[in-house]
């Protein structure tokens, strides 16, 4: 009883402090908002940009909006590569797609631009202290161990596994068509791409099956990971307070605060995070038990990414070793980083191939020639062969360039730096190639416009906004552009660049190529009557838009999915 009174008192005390700080925070921001323009404290007076859409959320509601993609593009079309946008209470932020400024942010001066505190702190709460929740030396130490695990040698060893999963999916789709009593049927290919992506990353990273593909999924982790991105996105505005909330009280107090929050979405996020964390911990214990077993048997070594990481961690010098919490954090981060991104790109590729059937035929011809599929005895390709197929490669490069699944990331300036950029006036006809500069004060939030930079005419030519895989074929390649983006993949920013670039990009490429090649060899994909729209939900995903009549009124309804007509008779 005594104990109970004590805990209750400290909780109430912490809650009071929390509420006091929250009130003072809002009052301070409110006064700053009024005073800043009067005192001339607006750092980006000369940078063009749209007016704030709301006095307290600025342009955030437009930027973090499922239908926000056209707004992102319009910023660049109307105002150029350095745009001023507004955050909370008039906070001035920069939306950058200018290649020279991006070189500084992503590469040359990368230590001056860190992930935002909102990103780091909310990831720490959701995933634990893995790569996306750490900064500075801790982040560098973790990357030193994680990056080599994704070496080409390790990925080559995973190639047969990716083939096993891709072929299992093709057999399952074949059965679906047979069950529908024919050689063709409309199937939700985004659902299948999501399932096969999760199974691939589960098996390749953890040696764990999340989804057998040939039977219904009944795994709480699978359900949790599916819900994570939409749930995070619907809390986009609330998450801006994560840095503030994560510094209030103890871990136990903050957990209780979350439990008390009378908001269904917050409770859903707590449940998702708990499921992911407990599953990751269990898997880690299993893997650890297995690698010790293999060590004593001197058996062939496990090829999954986490077993390799555990072995590397054992061998690392004490100051480089990752703790149990850091390793658990990596598991969820890798699964999360891999699933929605690759499924989005594979879905988009299939959708585009239905819009450009001649390109679909061309890729299939290339696959037939490489595998002997036309003669009825299709063979698996080796890693090097499939990675270097020109048409398949061109299709993926062009899809990733024009439709990167992560269209922007954000950074915070942690050191004051000056960015050089080319100012572009509103009328493109009067483009000005002179250099302008802007000093970026510490604390400024910057948007790195990945999709915007990937579509710049100054780099990709007048047809930059068209999907033309041919541009990647050697006979079409013109001279190297004079302006370059600081990206690690094909001169694009799709996997970013610098010290926070995607660690899994080679994994993603081989996985996606094997799955797409296997499907294209067995099936033809065509459009249906359905209207497909691509929505922004942190990562872009497809939905079907339908008109629904309710009484006298007609409404537009959107359901996640990508229905495509799938045919198994390729007439070979």
Q: Which is nearer to ligand HEM, 424 or 515 (CB)?
A: 515
> Using the rule CB under 6 A, which residue among 166, 269, 345, 413 binds ligand HEM?
345
CB of 450 to ligand HEM, least distance (A): 6
Task: Tell me the CA distances in angstroms from 387 to 130, 169, 328, 489, one per residue in order.
Answer: 29, 20, 31, 13
Q: Which is nearer to ligand HEM, 307 or 341 (CB)?
A: 341
| Orientation of helix 264-297 relative to helix 251-260, angle to 10° | 130
Residue nearest to ligand HEM (CB): 504
Please report whether residue 273 would count as binding ligand HEM according to CB under 6 A.
no
Residue 119: count of CB within 10 angstroms of its CB? 20
Q: Which residues contact 407 (CB under 8 A, 6 or more apart)?
A: 69, 72, 449, 450, 451, 452, 536, 540
Is the CB of residue 365 less than 8 Å from the CB of residue 374?
no
CB of 230 to ligand HEM, least distance (A): 18
What DSSP string describes 73-84?
HHHHHHH-SEEE
Q: Which is nearer to ligand HEM, 76 or 406 (CB)?
A: 406
Please report whether residue 223 would count as binding ligand HEM according to CB under 6 A.
no
Q: Which is nearer to ligand HEM, 177 or 502 (CB)?
A: 502
Task: Tell me the CA distances in angstroms from 461 to 76, 458, 465, one per residue in order.
Answer: 16, 6, 9
Distance CA 528, CA 103 (A): 42
Please report whether residue 341 would count as binding ligand HEM according to CB under 6 A.
yes
Distance CA 560, CA 565 (A): 17
CB of 297 to ligand HEM, least distance (A): 28
CB of 540 to ligand HEM, least distance (A): 10
Residue 358: count of CB within 10 angstroms of its CB? 7
Is the CB of residue 113 less than 8 Å from the CB of residue 412?
yes
Please report whether residue 206 would count as binding ligand HEM according to CB under 6 A.
no
| Orientation of helix 117-127 relative to helix 264-297, angle to 10° | 60
Q: Is 556 a known ligand-binding residue?
A: no
> Using the rule CB under 6 A, which residue among 257, 409, 420, 483 binds ligand HEM?
409
Q: Which residues contact 337 (CB under 8 A, 6 or more apart)?
A: 132, 502, 503, 504
> Using the rule CB under 6 A, which residue among 405, 487, 542, 563 binds ligand HEM?
405
Segment interacting with ligand HEM (CB under 6 A) among 157-165, 183-191, 334-342, 415-423: 334-342
Please report whether residue 406 would count as binding ligand HEM according to CB under 6 A.
yes
Within 360-379, which residues bind ligand HEM (CB under 6 A)?
Answer: none
E strand residue ranges, 107-243: 113-115, 184-188
CB of 561 to ligand HEM, least distance (A): 20
Please report whether residue 49 would count as binding ligand HEM according to CB under 6 A.
no
Please report whether residue 333 would count as binding ligand HEM according to CB under 6 A.
yes
β-pair type (417-421, 408-413): unpaired
* Terminal CA-CA length for the chain: 79
> Using the rule CB under 6 A, which residue among 132, 149, 283, 331 binds ligand HEM?
132
Please report whether residue 544 would count as binding ligand HEM according to CB under 6 A.
no
β-pair type (113-115, 408-413): antiparallel
Segment interacting with ligand HEM (CB under 6 A) among 12-20, 84-92, 329-337, 367-375: 329-337
Site string for ligand HEM, 85-124 (x = CB under 6 A): ------------------------------x---------
> Using the rule CB under 6 A, which residue among 47, 63, 131, 283 binds ligand HEM?
131
Instruction: Kindly report the backbone phi and psi dihedral angles of residue 105, in degrees, each rounded to the nearest multiple of 5, phi listed first.
Output: -65, -45
Number of residues that this document lists for the chain? 572
Torsion 506-511-512-518 (CA) sign: positive
β-pair type (553-560, 539-550): antiparallel
Q: Which is nearer to ligand HEM, 341 or 378 (CB)?
A: 341
Size of the site for ligand HEM (CB under 6 A): 26
Residue 307: count of CB within 10 angstroms of its CB? 20
Please report whether residue 337 would count as binding ligand HEM according to CB under 6 A.
yes
Number of helices (H), then strands (E), in the chain: 21, 13
Is the CB of residue 500 less than 8 Å from the CB of residue 151?
no
Within 488-507, which residues bind ligand HEM (CB under 6 A)?
Answer: 494-496, 500, 502-504, 507
CB of 534 to ligand HEM, least distance (A): 14
> Using the rule CB under 6 A, which residue among 334, 363, 373, 459 binds ligand HEM?
334
Segment interacting with ligand HEM (CB under 6 A) among 66-74, 338-346, 357-365, 426-434: 338-346
Task: Name the binding residues for heme.
Answer: 502
- Residues forming the site for ligand HEM (CB under 6 A): 115, 131-132, 143, 201, 205, 333-334, 337-338, 341-342, 345, 404-406, 409, 494-496, 500, 502-504, 507-508
């Amino acid at each position: 009883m005594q104990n109970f009174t004590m805990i209750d008192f400290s909780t109430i005390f912490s809650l009071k402090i929390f509420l006091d700080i929250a009130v003072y925070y809002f009052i301070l921001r409110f006064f700053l908002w009024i005073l800043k323009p009067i005192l001339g404290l607006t750092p980006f007076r000369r940078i063009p940009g749209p007016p704030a859409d709301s006095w307290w959320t600025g342009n955030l509601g437009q930027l973090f909006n499922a239908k926000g993609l056209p707004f992102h593009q319009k910023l660049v079309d109307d105002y150029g590569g350095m745009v001023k946008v507004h955050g909370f209470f008039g906070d001035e932020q920069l939306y950058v797609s200018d290649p020279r400024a991006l070189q500084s942010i992503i590469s040359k001066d990368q230590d001056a631009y860190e992930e935002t505190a909102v990103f780091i702190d909310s990831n720490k709460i959701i995933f634990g202290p893995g790569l996306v929740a750490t900064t500075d030396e801790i982040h560098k130490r973790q990357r030193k161990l994680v990056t080599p695990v994704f070496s080409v040698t390790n990925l080559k060893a995973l190639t047969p596994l990716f083939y096993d999963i891709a072929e299992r999916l093709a057999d399952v789709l074949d059965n679906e068509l047979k069950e529908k009593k024919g050689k063709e049927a409309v199937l939700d290919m985004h659902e299948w791409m999501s399932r096969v992506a999760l199974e691939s990353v589960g098996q390749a990273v953890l040696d764990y099956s999340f989804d057998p593909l040939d039977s219904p999924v009944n795994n709480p982790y699978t359900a949790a990971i599916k819900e994570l991105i939409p749930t995070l996105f619907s809390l986009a505005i609330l998450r801006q307070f994560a840095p503030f909330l994560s510094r209030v009280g103890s871990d136990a107090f903050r957990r209780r605060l979350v439990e008390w929050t009378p908001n269904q979405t917050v409770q859903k996020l707590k449940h998702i995070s708990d499921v992911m964390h407990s599953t990751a911990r269990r898997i880690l214990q299993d893997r650890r038990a297995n690698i010790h077993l293999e060590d004593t048997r001197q058996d062939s070594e496990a090829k999954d990414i986490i077993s390799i990481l555990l072995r590397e961690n054992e061998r690392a010098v004490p100051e480089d070793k990752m703790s149990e919490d850091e390793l658990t954090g990596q598991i969820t981060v890798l699964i999360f980083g891999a699933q929605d991104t690759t499924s989005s790109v594979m879905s988009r590729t299939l959708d585009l191939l239905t819009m450009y059937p001649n390109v679909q035929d061309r890729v299939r011809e290339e696959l037939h020639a490489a595998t002997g599929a036309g003669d009825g005895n299709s063979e698996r390709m080796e890693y090097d062969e499939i990675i270097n197929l020109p048409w398949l490669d061109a299709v993926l490069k062009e899809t990733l360039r024009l439709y990167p699944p992560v269209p922007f990331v954000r950074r915070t300036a942690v050191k004051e730096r000056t960015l050089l950029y080319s100012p572009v006036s509103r009328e493109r006809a009067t483009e000005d190639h002179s250099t302008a500069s802007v000093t970026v004060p510490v604390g400024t939030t910057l948007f790195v416009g990945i999709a915007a930079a990937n579509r710049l005419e100054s780099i990709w030519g007048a047809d930059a906004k068209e999907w033309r895989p041919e541009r990647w074929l050697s006979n079409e390649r013109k001279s190297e552009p004079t302006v370059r983006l600081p990206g690690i993949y094909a001169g694009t920013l799709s996997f970013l660049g610098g010290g926070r670039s995607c660690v899994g990009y080679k994994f993603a490429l081989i996985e996606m190529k094997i799955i797409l090649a296997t499907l294209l060899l067995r099936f033809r994909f065509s459009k249906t009557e359905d209207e497909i729209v691509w929505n922004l939900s942190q990562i872009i995903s497809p939905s079907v838009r339908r008109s629904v009549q309710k009484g006298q009124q007609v409404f537009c309804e959107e359901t996640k999915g990508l229905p495509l007509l799938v045919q198994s008779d390729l007439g070979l």
